[in-house]
A and B are shown apart, each in its own frame.
Chain A
Amino acid sequence: MADPNLLPACAKPLSFREADERKGISVILAFLSLFFLFLSPAQAAEAQLRTILAKLADAKGFPAVEAVVRELGATGDPAVSGPLEALSAGDLYFAKADKSIAILRDGAILDPLSGAKTREGATSAFTKIRVNNGLRGAIRDVLGSLTLSAPDPAVRLSAVATIFNRPDPEAIPALDAVLAKETDATVKARMEEARAAAVLASDLPEDQKRAAIETLGARGDRAALTLLSNYAQSAQGSLRDAAASAADRIRTVLAGWDVAQNVWFGLSLGSVLLLAAIGLAITFGVMGVINMAHGEMVMLGAYTTFAVQEAIRASAPGLFDWSLAIALPAAFLVAGAVGFAMERGIIRFLYGRPLETLLATWGVSLILQQAVRVIFGPNNREVGNPTWMSGSFEIGQMAITWNRLWIVLFAGAVFLGLLYVMKRTPWGLQMRAVTQNRRMAASMGIRTPWVDAFTFALGSGIAGIAGVALSQIGNVSPNLGQSYIIDSFMVVVFGGVGNLWGTLVGALSLGVLNKFLEPYAGAVLGKIIVLVLIILFIQKRPRGLFALKGRAVEA
């Protein structure tokens, strides 16, 4: 594509409708294009690519398509990355009438090589070229070797990763060539590792392989471990020992990272438990209401997130990444309002009668579930992840997913915020006064019924904002609340009723314990063991980890 002026000349013979309209000109242009074919190597290469691309329309079955993909890759022309990426994404089509290849994206018909909008027409006149996972893998392989010298370091990085995963001695010269020019330190290190992987698979002399073992040993991740331990099985003599000892060193380091990873998983599960339980720590822990509808408050928060996202999708799609921030106050208000109504309408008549409260709130939970089922339907609702909550990053040999990290931070923020409200504001003081000694508080001029109502609303509202966070990691369905209610009570009881710090420590320690048991005992048995341990613990310390002391206990 040396000269943009030449493009139409070459593109013309492929777009038939216009060629029909201006037959005379097109004949001349066709001649011209032929003429340029012989003149310019770039044009010749493009014409060759188009010839190969055209075969896609006739390729029957995935192996045939893969052969064409390999053929495209064999040209070594970086221009094939456009159509190949489109094929991988399922955007490559061919016209039913003339079998010309085109990219269909957002309703527009694009030229496969230039990406320019070349023609009009209905997208229904095209047939999709089907892809499967094997084909996507082949495309990635092909692109990997082609994009090694791409200008974007990120593209080079992914190209190198592909080569690393499929070590091929034939890639060594290509890697040597790009290594000499590489300026980015990270990419260079990865390239050297990819080269080392290829060297191990080659028949190069021993000293080169020894260096390769060292490079891989320094990389120190699981992929390097696999390469080294596989190599150690097939190699002989001192090379085998070197590979085996490098593999052992990696194993030791990885074992340490495994522990760190488990701790992180535990903290992350703990933060989810904390979010689910912290509202209950107010309604059950501080007020003493056995609130079986707590899970449904979480559910209402999640459905509010769904409603907010729907509204954003319909009216302001650009705000989508902010949807969670907008949903937070909305969820707090919705769940808080329902909690307020519940306290005023039902619970206030039942103070001091735990059994009736339990039954009444359980009834409310069923009513709320069925109401949501009637309004939103029984199916799961789609709550999307904003971009900043997707994907993961790595610290050492441990992958941390963004959504989990944000939830850990969010749980911490909610906890601190609540602690502040309880300990540092007049409202918090009144709350604690009323729950500790109602009559004394009343005689000091505190309007106890309103404090009760607002405390319950606060606990419910907090459950609501927990729902916003939990909608990011689980389903949003009418049953959402049920899956959290048992865990919530478990955390509050274990941590010590009426103590926010107890809830924090309880949630985190249960999370970590669970995640340390899971790899050995499995998820099912792990959960059972945790429950058994809690039962034993409660036998020993009926008031939980952090029991309230003094007169507060009697109230």
Chain B
Amino acid sequence: MHRISKSLTALALAAGLSFGSAYGALAQEDTIKIGILHSLSGTMAISETTLKDAMLMLIDEQNKKGGVLGKKLEAVVVDPASDWPLFAEKARELISKDKVAAVFGCWTSVSRKSVLPVFEELDNILFYPVQYEGEESQRNVFYTGAAPNQQAIPAVDYLMSEDGGEVKRWVLEGTDYVYPQTTNKILQAYLESRGVAKEDIMVNYTPFGFSDWQTEVAAIKKFGSAGKKTAVVSTVNGDANVPFYKELANQGIKAEDIPVVAFSVGEEELAGIDTAPLVGHLTAWNYFQSVDTPENAAFIDGWKKFIKNDKRVTNDPMEAHYIGFNMWVKAVEKAGTTEPDKVIDGIVGVSVPNLSGGFSTMMPNHHITKPVMIGEIQADGQMETVWQTPGLVVGDEWSDYLADSKDLIADWRAPMSCGNFNVKTGKCGGKTTN
């Protein structure tokens, strides 16, 4: 086996040389380099630093198992400093200068959009681990976080169900940027398709880092006093969440009366705050630290040992990196090379265990299959699963509920090889990104 992989590497080397591309140099070195593109300073450091550490742990563990293709992996960490143009520069540096085989990184959608052209131009691989708004499928990007149908829509379904309290009135509260705007657009269309009247939906946006929630919470209270069960779907991002929940609690809105289901609040975000006002409110993710499986117990244990801190928590994007990294390893071993083109072709259909006791598979649209869980926030900052999809949900890149994307599909397998194939016109290239 070893010999085969060696000769395959030699083949890859030959292929690399014949392409005359940047990857020729890669095989001559002793290690395989992995780029980590997460902000370690600036506003997003709060979320992204953990992902950098998680990647270092995964790489470390893989090296203990003997690396990949008989070579050790080497992490190349750069700091794009929460600065979107800098993300593109650093991505270019990772690919052209450091010759990495794949990059794991980005958090915000705007940072992902900023690096897309770089990955396309230099033909490398990006694993993107965060839940996002969908409406995108790119050949060089693998989306291991949730698409809207893997988070937002099941959450709304749950709240509409008898278990969730048969909610009839909806407040869509979000931070003013692309992810909440698109998600709310999809949700609004979805709710209307399920027979919710227009006057029973209230959409509101606030700026980044918003801290004075008095007017907004008073408006939610007013909206919720119409005698119908009301819920808030929150795409409020990052720092604005704490003052939001505090204001809700102070104005006496209880989770039993008006539950808030949040898509951007995870264990990591809860670790730094007074959880008392949040208890009983809901979150929707594809993984919770509280999931009771042997794989998860081992992962948590490994994480706490690696970071040398018993209090650190795990969260959904970390699981996404876990899945994405293992998929990459498997695809590389399958292809016998780290050459991105081969890996991109080979990774579709690769299936690896996720942390919630099942398997996640890379689909032809470069999204993965995941279970969806609704959790209730507990006083200790953990979530308790109150509902879970019976099976795995396939990530849907082009929403079925938006008029201009419902006819689009993505399939990166030959011969289609298209991220936006229009099934009505039968042509590729209806719409690239939103």
Find residues 304-356 in chain B having any chain A CB closer than 8 Å to their own CB: none
Cα of A14 to Cα of B204 in the assembled complex, Å: 54
> A133, A262, A268, A476 — which one has the most chain B CB atoms within 10 A of its CB?
A133
Cα of A140 to Cα of B282 in the assembled complex, Å: 19
Contact B271 A379 (CB under 8 A): yes
Q: Does B164 contact A (CB under 8 A)?
A: yes
The verdict on A370 contacting B272 (CB below 8 Å), with A133-B165, A392-B251, A475-B243 known, is no
The verdict on A382 contacting B272 (CB below 8 Å), with A370-B41, A401-B250 known, is yes
Contact with B along A147-180 (1 / 0, CB 8 A): 0000000000000000000000000000000000
Distance in angstroms from B155 CB to nearest chain A CB is 13
Instruction: Pick the interface stretch among A343-351, A452-460, A520-528.
Output: A520-528
Contact A477 B272 (CB under 8 A): yes
The verdict on A519 contacting B211 (CB below 8 Å), with A130-B386, A133-B255 known, is no
Find residues 223-278 in chain B having any chain A CB closer than 8 Å to their own CB: 225-227, 239, 242-243, 246-247, 249-252, 255-257, 259, 268-269, 271-274, 276
Contact B250 A391 (CB under 8 A): yes
Contact A63 B207 (CB under 8 A): no
Cα of A385 to Cα of B272 in the assembled complex, Å: 14
Contact A523 B207 (CB under 8 A): yes
B residues in contact with A483, CB < 8 Å: 209, 211, 239
Task: Please pick, from B215, B273, B376, the residue contacting A519 in the complex, using a CB distance under 8 A.
Answer: B215
Contact A524 B239 (CB under 8 A): no
The verdict on A382 contacting B165 (CB below 8 Å), with A230-B227, A265-B214, A479-B209 known, is no
Contact A402 B49 (CB under 8 A): no
Interface SS, A side: helix
A residues in contact with B165, CB < 8 Å: 133-134, 137
Q: Does A55 contact B (CB under 8 A)?
A: no
Q: Does A352 contact B (CB under 8 A)?
A: no
Distance in angstroms from A306 CB to nearest chain B CB is 10
> A399, A402, A404 — which one has the most chain B CB atoms within 10 A of its CB?
A399
Q: Does B378 contact A (CB under 8 A)?
A: yes
Cα of A391 to Cα of B162 in the assembled complex, Å: 30
- Name the CB-closest residue of B to A518: B215
Instruction: Pick the interface stretch among A219-227, A321-329, A330-338, A542-550.
Output: A219-227
A residues in contact with B269, CB < 8 Å: 380
Cα of A383 to Cα of B276 in the assembled complex, Å: 12
Task: Please pick, from A90, A130, A473, the residue contacting B246 in the complex, using a CB distance under 8 A.
Answer: A473
A residues in contact with B280, CB < 8 Å: 133, 136
Q: Does B14 contact A (CB under 8 A)?
A: no
Contact A373 B274 (CB under 8 A): no
Distance in angstroms from B106 CB to nearest chain A CB is 17
- Name the CB-closest residue of B to A519: B215
Find residues 189-216 in chain B having any chain A CB closer than 8 Å to their own CB: 204-207, 209-212, 214-216
Q: Does A438 contact B (CB under 8 A)?
A: no
Contact B225 A515 (CB under 8 A): no
A residues in contact with B251, CB < 8 Å: 392, 399, 401
B residues in contact with A381, CB < 8 Å: 272
Q: Does A269 contact B (CB under 8 A)?
A: yes
Q: Does B45 contact A (CB under 8 A)?
A: yes
The verdict on A473 contacting B272 (CB below 8 Å), with A265-B218, A522-B204 known, is no
Cα of A175 to Cα of B211 in the assembled complex, Å: 43
Q: Does A427 contact B (CB under 8 A)?
A: no
Task: Please pick, from A133, A515, A519, A527, the residue contacting B207 in the complex, using a CB distance under 8 A.
Answer: A527
B residues in contact with A527, CB < 8 Å: 207
Contact with B along A237-261 (1 / 0, CB 8 A): 0000000000000000000000001
Q: Does B298 contact A (CB under 8 A)?
A: no
Find residues 102-143 in chain A having any chain B CB closer than 8 Å to their own CB: 130, 132-134, 136-137, 140
Cα of A390 to Cα of B250 in the assembled complex, Å: 6
Distance in angstroms from B162 CB to nearest chain A CB is 7
Contact A401 B247 (CB under 8 A): yes
Q: Does A449 contact B (CB under 8 A)?
A: no
The verdict on A268 contacting B214 (CB below 8 Å), with A132-B163, A378-B45, A523-B205 known, is yes
Contact with B along A475-496 (1 / 0, CB 8 A): 1111100010000000000000
Contact B176 A524 (CB under 8 A): yes
Distance in angstroms from A65 CB to nearest chain B CB is 11
- Name the CB-closest residue of B to A306: B272
Contact with A along B30-42 (1 / 0, CB 8 A): 0000000000110
Distance in angstroms from B24 CB to nearest chain A CB is 38
Contact A382 B274 (CB under 8 A): yes
Contact B256 A137 (CB under 8 A): yes
Q: Does B46 contact A (CB under 8 A)?
A: yes
- Name the CB-closest residue of B to A381: B272
Q: Does A277 contact B (CB under 8 A)?
A: no
Task: Please pick, from A140, A370, A380, A524, the residue contacting B206 in the complex, using a CB distance under 8 A.
Answer: A524
Given contacts A272-B211, A399-B218, A515-B215, 7 further A-B contacts (CB under 8 A): A62-B386, A133-B255, A269-B212, A391-B252, A474-B243, A523-B205, A524-B207
12 interchain pairs, CB-CB under 8 A: A62-B386, A134-B164, A137-B256, A272-B211, A373-B41, A378-B46, A385-B246, A401-B214, A401-B251, A479-B46, A483-B211, A523-B207
